Amino acid sequence: MDVKKVAVIGGGTMGNGIAHVFAMNGFSVNLIETKQEFADRAMSTIQKNLDRMVKKEKIDEGKKKSTLDSISVFLDISEGVKDVDMVVEAVPENLDIKTSVWKQVDEAAPDHTIFGSNTSSISITKLAALTSRPEKFIGMHFFNPVPVMKLVEIVRGLQTDDDTYDVVEETSKKLQKVPVPVNDAPGFVSNRVLMPMINEAIFCVGEGVATAENVDEVMKLGMAHPMGPLRLADFIGLDVCLDILGVLYEGFKDPKYRPAPLLVKMVDAGKLGNKTGEGFYKYD
């Protein structure tokens, strides 16, 4: 199957980036949000990121215009998915929200439509089982900032069939991304490896081993990471990090994934990182 039209559900940090890359690479995109103000915010972020690309001479004004013209906004899931070849869901990491979204999508999407979730840690097998077509359900895990990061971690659920995998792999290449297949397991590969590092960095700060700045310097200058783990935790969102550690902890029942007490306290205090203006660092 040749995917031409996609629906992206959710226009937050990940969703607007996903809509951006699909539209920029020739796909027609239905961007679905719950309220017009959220949709407007998503479109203005996409516009800003396209402006940044024009300034860096990665694309020209014509490409920016055609990208924006390829995105249509919908406030109703049934309307937005009724004629698409693929759905990519990027709503908050909450099973109740995802369940409600996937039930609506399942009822309204055409039979041939492939279902992809950008979940960072919820089981693909479990989400697939909410629908009547688990063989067409797959994880399509993008990385922030989506227009920049090359990886799509493609997560196969227990029932995902080979045809679905092949279409999603091909589609990811058309987005100029590098698809890497993994099987469904808590945290997949990316977050199973990344989150313990971030958590351990937070333990170091909490135990007074080093300041956040110095932990980050060690990892940037000693390991050539583009961002230190604490700056990255702020960028991802401390609440998201805590949620993912919870999934790892529950999924493996292994104490090595217990969240650092300082992480729990910061989330309780509402210091969630970039999005709230403060985490391990302060932001304007």
Q: In this chain, which stretch among 35-43, 52-60, 172-180, 205-213 interacts with ligand 3HC, using CB under 6 A?
A: 52-60
Whether 245 and 236 have beta carbons less than 8 Å apart is answered as no
CA–CA dist 150, 141 (Å, integer): 11
Q: Find the helix or strand (DSSP H, E) in which 132 lies.
A: none
Q: How near is the Cβ of 97 to ligand 3HC at its closest, in Å?
A: 16
Whether residue 153 lies in the annotated active site:
yes
For ligand 3HC, the binding residues in 79-118 under the rule CB under 6 A are none
Phi and psi at 276, nearest 5°, equal -110, 5
CA–CA dist 240, 16 (Å, integer): 17
Q: How near is the Cβ of 143 to ligand 3HC at its closest, in Å?
A: 4
Whether residue 191 lies in the annotated active site:
yes
Taking CA 77 as the corner, what is the angle to CA 236 and CA 27, rounded to the nearest 5 degrees?
A: 70
Q: Decide if residue 193 touches ligand 3HC (CB under 6 A).
A: no
Q: Decide if residue 49 touches ligand 3HC (CB under 6 A).
A: yes
Q: What is the contact mask toward ligand 3HC in residues 134 to 173, using x (rule: CB under 6 A)?
A: ---------xxx-xxx------------------------
Out of 30, 89, 123, 141, the active site residue is 141
Q: Shortest Cβ contact with ligand 3HC: which residue?
A: 120
Q: Decide if residue 226 touches ligand 3HC (CB under 6 A).
A: yes
Whether residue 20 lies in the annotated active site:
no
DSSP states of 192-222: HHHHHHHHHHHHHHHTTSS-HHHHHHHHHHH
